[in-house]
Amino acid sequence: MLLLFFRDKMTDKQGTPDQLPAEKGQGGAGATYKLAVFEFENFRGKKVELSSECKDVMEKMQRVGSIIVESGPWVGYERPGFTGEQFVLEKGEYPRWSTWTNCLNSYSLSSFKLLKVDSADHKLHLFENAVFEGRMMEIVDDDVPSIWAYGFQDRVASAKAINGT
């Protein structure tokens, strides 16, 4: 679909990867992050590999047509500087823009951040009413398959992450 918006010569050959400056590439719980961004759909054209956040991938290529998340997860942003619509990209292949969004207004990504998952001490407060008011339920370190069992039958109107991710 991106080719409908841009007119450039498309190559059948995958480009040589550009390695952007990387930090340690480690996230929470010792995870390694790696993302490959391609200029054209179906993993063709110029390739840029990321192992740390990137404020503006357009400095290295003209557009983002497809993505392979080798390890992550990552957050892709519609515009440079981590602004605009956000899309969570988990491990897998995204051969065209419609695989990371169904929004017709967001057909490209320009910046990427690691989504660090910290396995230590999670704490979440759920509130019955907006603006963190009303009854509160605290979730600590465990998955809660049903909030009904904790007395929140009808709704949760606000939530506050106290600790963790």
pLDDT tens for 88-102 read 898 999 999 888 776
Q: 14-19 and 34-40: which strand pairing?
A: unpaired
Whether pLDDT at 14 is above 80: no
| Residues in a beta bridge with 92 | 69
Residue 41, SS3 per DSSP: helix
Q: What are phi and psi of 27, to 5 degrees?
A: -115, -165
Token pair listed for 158: 């606000």
Contact 35, 76 (CB under 8 A): no
Whether pLDDT at 24 is above 60: no
| Residues in a beta bridge with 138 | 125
User: What residues does CATH 2.60.20.10 cover in the chain?
Assistant: 2-114
Q: Which has more confidence, 85 or 117?
A: 85
Q: Which has more confidence, 53 or 165?
A: 53
Token pair listed for 155: 């709704």
Q: Kindly state the helix (H) or strand (E) to which residue 15 belongs, with its residue range.
A: strand 14-19
Q: What are phi and psi of 30, to 5 degrees?
A: 75, 15
The residue type of 126 is: L
Q: Is the domain covering 2-114 a CATH 2.60.20.10 domain?
A: yes
Q: Which has more confidence, 10 or 109?
A: 109
pLDDT tens for 36-51 read 999 999 999 999 999 9
Cβ-based burial of 16 (10 A; exposed 0-12, middle 13-18, buried ≥19): exposed
Mean of all residue pLDDT scores within the chain? 76
Return d(Cα 153, Cα 44) in angstroms, integer: 49
